[in-house]
């Protein structure tokens, strides 16, 4: 239960960090939509990402784990699609946002 809560908090925090510091990432709605998008990101990271890790295990081995970055980018892209208030303009801001998600997830995993 605490892991799910940390994922939800981490999702909101990473989207806030990305829209604050990554050029090309904008959030044009109210704060409640940012919280909803972050919770959606946290739920995807909690429920769907472990399944994707198992499915892509051979690719993870072949690419020394770099496919995990692609998975993060696809997940963030899905959040971008579901929430029109979140605007990520291009692949470079998507890349930096996925690095932020990875970094915050790594730090929360240590806790």
pLDDT digits (tens, 9 = 90+) for 46-64: 999 999 999 999 999 999 9
Q: What is the pLDDT of residues 10-55, one digit of tens each?
A: 999 999 999 999 999 999 888 999 999 999 999 999 999 999 999 9
pTM (predicted TM-score)? 0.89
Mean pLDDT on 87-103: 93
Alpha helices in the chain (DSSP H): 2-21, 31-47, 49-55, 57-62, 67-82, 91-110
Whether pLDDT at 65 is above 90: no
């Amino acid at each position: 239960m605490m892991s799910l809560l940390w994922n939800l908090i981490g999702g909101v925090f990473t989207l806030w960090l990305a829209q604050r510091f990554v050029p090309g990432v904008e959030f044009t709605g109210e704060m409640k939509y940012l919280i909803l998008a972050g919770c959606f990101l946290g739920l995807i990271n909690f429920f769907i990402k472990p399944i994707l890790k198992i499915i892509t295990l051979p690719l993870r081995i072949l690419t020394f784990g770099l496919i995990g970055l692609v998975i993060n980018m696809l997940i963030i892209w899905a959040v971008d699609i579901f929430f029109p208030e979140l605007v990520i303009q291009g692949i470079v801001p998507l890349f930096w946002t996925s690095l932020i998600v990875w970094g915050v997830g790594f730090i929360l995993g240590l806790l």
